[in-house]
Amino acid sequence: MAVVFGDKGEKTVDSWQEIFVPTYSERIKRLREDAIRTPEICTERARAEMKVYEQYKDEPRIIQCALP
């Protein structure tokens, strides 16, 4: 329980969430939505990467990561 101090003494508030109203810009709203939604998986890109890794499996790992 939060306590709000004012000119007329103490006033109790059930929760700070009842008096706090968050405001977001459009950019923040969009970024928040992007972070919450489920990730998309591209199967074509995954297949291409696997093909490259198989083709260059004898190369050092840093070279493999630089190829796709």
**Percent of the residues in the chain that have a pLDDT greater than 90, as a whole number:** 13
Mean pLDDT of 5-16: 56
CA distance 20 to 14: 12
Residue 30 tokens read as 């969009």
Answer whether 67's CB lies under 8 Å from 55's CB: no
The reported pLDDT for the residue numbered 13 is 57
Task: Assess whether pLDDT exceeds 70 at residue 36.
Answer: yes
Per the model's pLDDT, the better-predicted residue between 6 and 22 turns out to be 22
Four-residue CA torsion sign, 23, 27, 30, 33: negative
Average pLDDT, the chain: 77
Ordered DSSP codes for 4-29:
EEETTEEEEES-GGGT------HHHH
What pTM value is reported for the model? 0.40
**Domain boundaries defined on the chain:** 2-66
Mean pLDDT of 37-58: 88
